[in-house]
Amino acid sequence: MTHLGYLLSGWGIALGVLAIYALRLVRRGRRLSARVPPAHRRWMQSPGTSGD
Amino acid sequence: MDILATESRITTGSRGTRLLGLAALAGVLALLVFAFVLTDPDVRTHPTSGEEFGQFDAVRLLYLHVPMAILTYAAYALCAAASAGYLLRRTPWWDVTAHAAAEVGTLVCALVLVTGSIWGRPVWNTWWEWGDVRLMTTLLLFLLFLGYLALRRAAVDPESAARPAAVVALVAVLDIPLVNRSVEWWENRTLHQKSTLAELKIEDLTLFTLVLGIVVFGLVVTWLLLHRFRVGWLERAEVTHGIDRAIAERRGVASTTGVDSTVGQTREES
Amino acid sequence: MREVLADLSLVAAKDLRIEFRSRVLANQVAPFALLVLVLFGVALDADQRTLRSFAPGLFWVAVLLCALLAVQRSVAVERADDAVVGLRLSGMSPSALFLGKATAVLVQLLVLEVLLTGGIIVLYRSSVEDVALLVLTGLTAGVAVAAAGTLYGAMAAGLGVRETLLPILLLPVLAPVLIGATRAFDDALGAAAVDGWAWLVLLAGLAVVLTLVGALAYRVLVED
């Protein structure tokens, strides 16, 4: 296979960066979820209101 | 209440996003097989001299680069649409969507520039080509959205950044045709059109792999967008909740039993 | 319409009067503009021919850098003593306010452009071949820069981080203006064989779009 170095670095960087970003997002989500009470966690609800 | 529902309280995942995530992972693996094993390298023979030329195995980078480029533009289009939606409706939903699309779009845009550069080195014999319309447009778009994200981060209160950010996003997207036009005039040559897709011998499998790439990275980007949206939403909720709690604590000084019940719950859970 | 024009000139005259009294342009921005020209000359360590062929681009980069200062100044004037609240309470339409402030920035930019033109003629030995093209380009690109600058200045100021946020917001938006104005000046100064008038048309389009977008967006930004 020609250009192996270019291929590995291109795919490696892209998939690696996406994976790191995804992991960080999940971590951030976990941390925030624990801090925000359940009433505020529903996605489609305005942050100003409370209750289900 | 099943397990998935209770779990969704501690993470930003839901049944839907888990399935989506699994599909995206499986898709990436399938794409790797198609891009590295099943497709042939781009080798053409010169009609008269019989010399071999083409992109050889470097073409395998395009199955990554081209889908991500398309998705960058899609994410920015979503950001502009959500910004317009915010200016019309003024609800946090649109604002958080715009922010999520801008952040994910900028990340993918950075990867497009990097992978394009890595591909350009063996094929065009240069890391960077000044005067190529799509390169310059994408780079400026990237810089415009770096400004957008800087504005978002600079704001102390996320609500106050919503309107300016919406304007910045709309101006940035409006700027694309202007940038495109001026760069095209600036140096009337583009390497993209002569040497990539138009000239590539597109066989069925090549085309299929490209389309598969678009679908797979579409799944990946959708998963990222959903999670980024939920994180953004929680950040908003945390700010609102912080204010609520402060008010509740004030009240609690007067009557110690009157503290917001949800606050007590969270403390026990965590 | 007449009302808008009256408000516009009122705001512009106010800003220019403050400018004239404080002399920030004369004492700080104008010397900075010349300094930039000198720094380019030193940094490029170039013979006169190179400098001459680079002159249009260096000219417009210098204008953009000065525009950042002028816009920050224009914003600072309103922030002092919350003057912007007073302006809003006057019942003036936000679009007129925007156009007035942009006009004041434009006038300052034009003064700087005249100064810089003198600078490149003396320091870089540029020669003006097409006066009409030079003047029209300076004016049109000035409108585009002033409009975008005023809009983004107000935005950055609203968030209280204007010094560092403004350049990263403003400069990428002005990239097409920089390209167009440089090419038109290439023709006007005889630095390269291009059709400067075609570029002027593009610049005019940019100026119109940025002014319209700015006037509309300013309304969105200042409303409460």
The number of distinct structural domains making up chain A is: 1
Architecture of domain B16-252: Up-down Bundle (1.20)
Searching chain A, which residue's CA lies closest to the CA of residue B263? A37
- Cα–Cα distances in Å, from B184 out to B143, C199, C210? 19, 12, 20
Is residue A16 assigned to a domain? yes
pLDDT tens for C184-207 read 999 899 888 788 888 899 899 999
> Taking CB atoms and an 8 Å limit, are B171 and C217 in contact across chains?
yes
CB neighbour class for C116 (10 Å; exposed up to 12, middle 13-18, buried from 19): buried
CB B119 within 8 A of CB B63: no
Is residue A42 assigned to a domain? no
Q: Which domain holds residue A27?
A: 11-37
Residue whose structure tokens are 């200042």: C222
Is residue A47 assigned to a domain? no
ipTM of the complex: 0.86
CB B118 within 8 A of CB C125: no
Is residue A17 assigned to a domain? yes
State the smallest CA–CA distance between residue A16 and chain B in angstroms. Answer: 10
Sequence letter at residue C213: V
Please tell me whether residue B111 adopts helix, strand or coil conformation: helix
DSSP B40: P
pLDDT of residue C64 exceeding 80: yes
The CA distance from C130 to C117, in Å, is 13
Domain borders along chain B are 16-252
C with A: 3 or more CB pairs under 8 Å?
A: no
CB neighbour class for B16 (10 Å; exposed up to 12, middle 13-18, buried from 19): exposed
State the smallest CA–CA distance between residue B45 and chain C in angstroms. Answer: 39
> Chain C residues with CB inside 8 Å of B156's CB?
159-160
Is residue A4 assigned to a domain? no
The CA distance from C84 to C159, in Å, is 14
Is residue A48 assigned to a domain? no
Q: Which tokens belong to B180?
A: 């495109």
Instruction: Name which of C169, C173, C202 is nearest B181 (Cβ-Cβ).
Output: C202
Domain borders along chain C are 2-222
Is residue A50 assigned to a domain? no
> The whole model's pTM is what?
0.84
State the smallest CA–CA distance between residue A2 and chain B in angstroms. Answer: 5
Instruction: Name which of B167, B178, B182 is nearest C217 (Cβ-Cβ).
Output: B167
Searching chain A, which residue's CA lies closest to the CA of residue B58? A3
> Taking CB atoms and an 8 Å limit, are A36 and B241 in contact across chains?
yes
- Cα–Cα distances in Å, from C208 out to B176, C6, C143, C146? 16, 21, 8, 12
State the pLDDT at residue B199. 55
Q: From first to last of its 270 residues, what are the pLDDT tens digits of chain B?
A: 344 444 445 677 778 888 999 999 999 999 999 888 888 787 777 778 877 777 778 888 889 999 999 999 999 999 999 999 999 999 999 999 999 999 999 999 999 999 999 988 888 888 888 777 788 888 999 999 999 999 998 887 778 889 999 999 999 988 777 777 777 776 655 555 444 555 565 667 888 888 999 999 999 999 999 999 999 988 888 887 777 777 787 777 655 544 444 444 444 443
